[in-house]
Amino acid sequence: MKADFPTDPVLTAIAIAYRNRRMIADQVLPRVAVGKQEFKYKEHNLGDQFTLPKTHVGRTSRPNQVEFGSKEKASATEDYALDAPIPNVDVKNAPQGTNPKGKATEYTTNLIELDREVRTAGIVFKKGSYASGLSKTLSGAEQWSHDDSKPIIQLTEALDIPVMRPNIMILGQKAATALRMNKSIVKAYNGTLGDEGLVPLEFIRELLELEQILVGQALVNTVNANKKPVLARAWGNHCSLIYRDSLADATNGITFGFTAQFGTREVREIEDKDMGYRGGVRVRVGESVKELITAPDLGYFFENVIA
């Protein structure tokens, strides 16, 4: 049976290839393919890997047997989609070399990705996503915007707490700027040459022995579309340290979190004969995903790193 709303391969290719470099959700919680919308994933018991059983064995006795436990959990991806109406008259009157459907696909895909960015920031920058004892709220002189703060000490101590050392740092833009301008960080970079300036993120990454530092720059309008825009940063004034295994999936490997994805991002053209005088189409961009924290023990969260 023919689908009511067939996918458009050309527009789908645009949607899949589209990347807003200011967004970091796909790097923070990498996408993992699942075979069905309803799926199961493993939440590992990290204690099994560090509990030492008796290994000594007698000449004729049987060695102790070990099992590495994990809890199987059920979840399901959720559908996210937006429509962009395109009247046929717009297509007919478009300047040569322009593609109204392609542009609509890019703009709509950007909004789909921005929504995912906000969801990902909401789950990663949240105390409840981390195990007990793996978060701290900074205040006063502890905050990186304060001249007396010592973020190098705070971060190095935090990196040693989780059972697996985090390899990724995630920062909001303002938090990243404050860290780069912090007097103790600048002094570590300049040596005896002073404590003012702007330190490269690469220096901080190497100093803390991290694989990557990700800075969330996305902005989102927080008021109704009919009102004057009030922009806020999707990634707030916080810092997360997480262990990310890019090769982990729903059943293999241990990682702080991932995004389950059912199918791929798709674009559908839906004819609308009632659109204006000449009719038109609605370009629908959508995907089916679920952001998950699968190992709360593999991260550390600093809340309110700046005032």
pLDDT band at 44 (very low <50, low <70, confident <90, very high): low
Beta-sheet pairing, 212-216 with 168-172: parallel
CA distance 225 to 220: 11
Say which residue the tokens 């927080």 belong to.
Answer: 222
Q: Is the pLDDT of residue 14 over 70?
A: no
Say which residue, 6 or 176, is predicted with more confidence: 176
For residue 196, the enclosing domain spans: 9-47+74-303
- If you compute the radius of gyration of the chain from its CA atoms, what whole number of angstroms results? 24
CA 114 centroid distance within chain: 11
* Within a domain: 257: yes
Place of tokens 């803390």: 208
**For residue 56, is it within any domain?**
no
Instruction: Report the CATH number that the domain containing residue 248 is assigned in CATH.
Output: 3.90.1690.10
Secondary-structure breakdown of the chain: helix, strand, coil percentages, each rounded to the nearest 5: 30, 30, 45
Q: Evaluate whether residue 212 is within a structural domain.
A: yes
Q: Averaged over 94-117, what is the pLDDT? A: 91
Q: Is residue 68 part of a domain?
A: no
Per the structure, the count of domains in the chain is: 1
Residue 1 confidence class, pLDDT cut points 50, 70, 90:
very low
Each residue's pLDDT tens digit, 204-245: 999 999 999 999 999 998 888 788 888 899 999 999 999 999
Encode pLDDT of 274-297 as tens digits: 999 999 999 999 999 999 999 999
CB 286 within 8 A of CB 80: yes
In terms of Cβ atoms closer than 10 Å to its own Cβ (0-12, 13-18, 19+), residue 224 is exposed
Q: Of 142, 137, 162, 165, which Cα lies nearest the Cα of 152?
A: 142
In a domain, 92, yes or no: yes
Average pLDDT along the chain: 90
Per-residue tokens: 287: 């995907």
Contact between 281 and 86 (Cβ < 8 Å): yes
pLDDT per residue over 249-273, tens digit each?
998 889 999 999 999 999 999 999 9
With respect to residue 213, please indicate whether it lies within any of the assigned structural domains: yes
Residue 54 within any structural domain of the chain = no
The tens digit of pLDDT for each residue in 153-212 reads 999 999 999 999 999 999 999 999 999 999 999 999 988 677 789 999 999 999 999 999
Q: How far apart are CA 116 and CA 93, in angstroms?
A: 34
Looking at residue 45, what is its pLDDT? 61
> What mean pLDDT comes out for the span 89-97?
88
Q: Is 243 inside any structural domain? A: yes
Distances (CA, A) of 208 to 164, 198, 238, 241: 15, 17, 17, 11
Q: Which of 148, 114, 296 is nearest to 221 (CA)?
A: 114
* pLDDT of 2: 46
Percent of the chain surpassing pLDDT 70: 89
